[in-house]
Amino acid sequence: MTSTLYQIEVNPQLPERLEHLEELANNLWYSWSRPTQRLFSSLSRPLWLAANHNPKAFLRRVDQKRLEAAIENPVFLAALNRVLSAYDGYHEMPSQAHVHGKSFRKDDLIAYFCAEFGFHESLPIYSGGLGILAGDHCKAASDMGLPFVGVGLLYRQGYFSQTLDASGQQQATYTDSDFDDLPVSPVLDADGNEMRIDVRLPGRTVQAKIWQARIGHVRLILLDTWLPENSTFDREITHRLYGGDETTRIEQEILLGVGGARALDKLGLRPTVWHVNEGHAAFLILERIRVLVGGGLPFAAALEAVASNTVFTTHTPVPAGHDHFSEDMIRQYSSIWCQELGLDCETLLALGAQPGRSEFNMTALALRGSRHHNGVSRIHGGVSAGICHYLWPQILPAENPMDYVTNGVHLPTFLAPEWFDTFEHYLGIGWQERQTESSNWNGIDEIPDATFWSIRQQLKARLLKLVRERICAQHKRNQGSPTHLDRLLKFVDPDNPNILTIGFARRFATYKRAALLFHDLRWLRELICQADRPVLFLFAGKAHPADQPGQEIIRKIAQIARQPEFEGRILLVEGYDLHLSRSLVAGVDVWLNNPIYPLEASGTSGMKAAMNGALNLSVLDGWWGEGYDDNGEVGNGWAIKPVPAHLDEAQRDAEEARSLYEILQDQVIPTYYRTGPTGYSPEWVAMAKRSIATIAPRFNVTRMVSEYVCKFYAPAIEHGRHYAADHFAVARDVAQWKARIRAAWPGVRLMRLDQPERRLKFGNALRIEIAVQLNGLVPSDVTVEALIGRPGLEPGNDRMRRYSLQCTGGTPNGEALYTLNVTPEQCGRLEYRIRIFPTHAALIHPFETGLMLWL
């Protein structure tokens, strides 16, 4: 029989007493409100799991009878009232921004642009660490009551779902989201019509629909091109996160930067700070310049005005990782901008130029179009200063404008719910509001060891239950035998979680070295196959579908895990997602991380593990270079010291693998199994407590966003207003001054006139006389400076003293005469250097011109 098959979805009607469930389902506050999640789950646990913990999708499918029963259930109604009270209390809470050092005016607004946002698995528009960090940034901004709006793209397909076949071959599956199921809604104008913006691309105009999501107090604006008015090709622009070819990629980035700025303008939002989180959104700089030039401002002045209140964060630790496009492609897409700006294409191309490369670098554009820049850890800040040195060619990396703010994580999202009541009892009511205060965490030591260990075992049991479920589904799909499944799961026993469990879960990129553990299989076998001290390794993560080396690492792990001696002791869990991630970081005993130094920009998974009482075993890279602490009687984890840089790849891996094995053999395994009559190791518990107490106050996202406020947001607001005042008078002045400086600088020269003294009595003055050929500049355009310090100190070191020379006249040859009389404050051998650099009172960073000469 041939017939047409029709489908219809019947949605329940919310009873009036439950109507607020819809409001809860449309605010991602639920992503860190565990009581809210439990409330929905209590209506139907199976449906909650099937809906992937998505309240909005859940409410569209829950049985009407369950809703009717709920309004007669006093237990459910009481739980609902508690959740609503907490929700209302959170949203009525006054701004806490002033607590963190700065306050904001009513017209201030921070606009945060990112290509992906990871709040929760119910909104799949993220792929990994960048998105999760952006989501945490928004959550903290909401917690702190900051004037904050996020801007991104609404993808039909987020990152892929992963399955693994029996040989460990990764299979990537992309699924279109039903926007009706997502916690997003179209933005409507006053007449109830959907709001849209236009973006011109070569040969056509593309429309984008404006959507919004709510994250507590914060609003997230998202753009979507899947519209009937657009061509099939243009609908694909926002179809897949990081999908398509280079053309799709540049059009996504133009839509994000240019379209995002236009969407804010159409909504009447006027940011006073623009934060470009990674280079994908850097085209917003060109859009903002276009608007100012259209208002009559010269291009150079518009660039200074835009840069004055733009913040740029780079997350990439290698030059090749920075986004770039061919010059031909930029010429094709920038012709419209050049026309509107009245520029030749070469001037625009210069904004993304990098010496020795013919490509347009998005990081270079972001750096030239901003005056506030940072990496995401102390180590990464130094690495980024070196990578981006070409932008400030005469400035040493230690002194150039690249700063850092170390990443953090949103504690309410990633702290396991089992900890909350215990922390409230021993840390005191309001402990979350005091999470950045080290003294707040002193109470961790007061938690009885037995209580602490019991919670840790509960978390591990929950993890092992989830791992069993995942491995069973994986094994069944790959048609494995029940007997073999029993062998795989022999150490995964939620009822008896007394096995040292070590987790490694992250993107399978080659620099993260997931396979370093397998460098010496004989040694590894001796370590983990002891009957009285078993060890379970859990691996999870995805490799990009185009990353064949990353996928080969997954296959290698699967191959080793199938060897008889490792079977059941090494498990590779498919389908790495936020749900599995939260369980892993909460449940493992040790979090393993062994990247190639210094290629780990920051990393945040280890922070999440530490907050839950796991111990980190990591290379001293990224955040762990700041977090590792072995100064007290009890350490907070273990560190693999990077080998010297002169060793080749094979030597490096061999040495660092040996360090890993030695730490496991001599410290990790013995400490865990050094149990007393209590059944647990007091030494291990002491380290786990110290891990929480030392890492939670420093590596939470509230501290991170507070640093952004103090280091960047508040100064950017001030500089933006200063540069824009009196019809952008300061921006015009700085632009003209920089042009004059750059023209004259090649002719600037220094010459010492006095005879340098080699010895000096303490208390006597050192005199320095310098003749400066200013080449048309005036003394107020420059600073001549002497740096004095102990031998071996480099410029940028805080222990080096800086003294400005004064212009005291001229020389017979027409040079400016600069002199200094300084009395050294120390005896012994000293060294000093003399330099000159351009100076202007309105510069945001003293060395932003990148120009400096040394005598």
Question: How many whole angstroms separate alpha carbon 40 and alpha carbon 80?
Answer: 9
Residues of the chain with pLDDT under 70: 1, 95-101, 320
Enumerate helices (H) and strands (E) in the chain, giving the number of each: 30, 28
pLDDT for 676 equals 85
Cβ neighbours for 342, distance < 8 A, ≥ 6 positions apart: 293, 299
d(CA 514, CA 817): 61
Provide the token pair at 523. Answer: 């040694």
Angle at 280 between CA 274 and CA 283, to 5 degrees: 60
Give the C-alpha separation, 81 to 23, whole Å: 14
Within a 10 A sphere around the Cβ of 225, how many other Cβ atoms? Answer: 27
Whole-number pLDDT of residue 100: 56
Model pTM?
A: 0.96
Residue 566 CA to residue 559 CA, distance in Å, equals 10
Name the amino acid, one letter, at 622. Answer: G
Residue 42 and residue 82 in contact, taking contact as beta carbons nearer than 8 Å:
no
SS3 420: helix
**Sign of the four-CA dihedral 91, 97, 99, 103:** negative
Instruction: Give the C-alpha separation, 730 to 721, whole Å.
Output: 10
Instruction: State CA 776 to chain mean position distance.
Output: 46
Other CB atoms within a 10 A radius of the CB of residue 590 amount to: 24
**Helix (H) / strand (E) containing 657:** helix 649-663
Q: In this structure, what token pair is assigned to residue 143?
A: 């917690």
Contact assessment for residue 25 and residue 55, using Cβ atoms and an 8 Å cutoff = yes
d(CA 802, CA 389): 22
pLDDT digits (tens, 9 = 90+) for 836-846: 999 999 999 99
- Round to whole Å and give the CA distance between 727 and 296: 10
Q: Rounded distance, CA 850 to CA 855, Å?
A: 17
Q: Which residues pair with 150 in a beta bridge?
A: 112, 220
> Which of 737, 738, 818 has the alpha carbon at shortest distance from 773?
818
Report residue 786: phi and psi, to 5°: -110, 135
User: What is the per-residue pLDDT for 630?
Assistant: 85
Any idea which residue has 């799991």 for tokens?
49
Q: What angle do CA 302, 303, 309 make, to 5 degrees?
A: 95
Share of the chain above pLDDT 70, in %: 99
Question: What is the separation of C-alpha 482 from the centre of its chain, rounded to a whole number of angstroms?
Answer: 42
- What pLDDT sits at residue 244? 85
Which string of b and e fits 257-289 if b means at least 16 CB within 10 Å? bbbbbbbbebbeeebbbbbbbbbbbbbbbbbbb
Distance CA 91, CA 106 (A): 17
Rounded CA gap, 656 and 646, in Å?
14
Tokens of 121: 């698995």
Q: How many CA atoms lie within 13 A of 223 on its CB side?
A: 36
Q: How many residues does the chain have?
A: 855
Q: Does residue 221 contact residue 119 with C-beta atoms inside 8 Å?
A: no
What is the residue-wise DSSP string for 52-100? TT-HHHHHHHS-HHHHHHHTT-HHHHHHHHHHHHHHHHHHHPPP-GGGG
User: What does the CA dihedral 305, 309, 315, 317 come to, rounded to 10 degrees?
Assistant: 50
Task: Output the pLDDT for position 98.
Answer: 55
The secondary structure of residue 409, as a DSSP letter, is B
Range 335-352 burial, b when 16+ CB lie within 10 A, else e = eebbeebebeeeebbebb
Cα–Cα nearest to 224, from 209, 242, 207, 204: 209
**Distance from the Cα of residue 215 to its chain's centroid:** 18
Give the number of other CB atoms < 10 A from CB of residue 461. Answer: 16
b/e code 121-130 from CB counts within 10 Å (16+ = b): bbbbbbbbbb
* Neighbouring residues of 52: CB distance < 8 A, sequence distance ≥ 6: 121, 122, 579
What is the signed CA dihedral for 799, 805, 806, 808, rounded to 10 degrees?
160
Q: Is 443 exposed, middle or buried (CB count within 10 Å of its CB: 0-12, 13-18, 19+)? A: middle
Is 589:460 a contact under the CB 8 Å cutoff?
yes
